[in-house]
Amino acid sequence: MQKTPDTLSAAPGLVTEVTYAPRGQFLALLLDGWRLPFVVEPMQGHHGHHSILMERDTP
């Protein structure tokens, strides 16, 4: 089975991938082409760890 990323509306022909990056690792994802979608605020998951919502467009 092919893994399908979570998607949002994007420009025609593009898919917007969404991920939750661990708070200590989001800078590496910024360098890899991911962006912060809007207001940035760390979110605490049920497991007690914090993460940051990030997105990127892929063809």
pLDDT for residue 2: 45
User: Mean pLDDT in each 10-residue stretch from start to end of the chain (59 residues)?
Assistant: 51 80 88 84 75 85
CB-based contacts of 16: which residues, under 8 Å, 6+ apart?
A: 7, 8, 9, 10, 55, 56, 57, 58
Closest to 59 (Cα-Cα) out of 19, 7, 21: 7
Q: Where are the alpha helices (DSSP H) in 1-59?
A: 26-31
In the chain, where the domains are located: 7-58
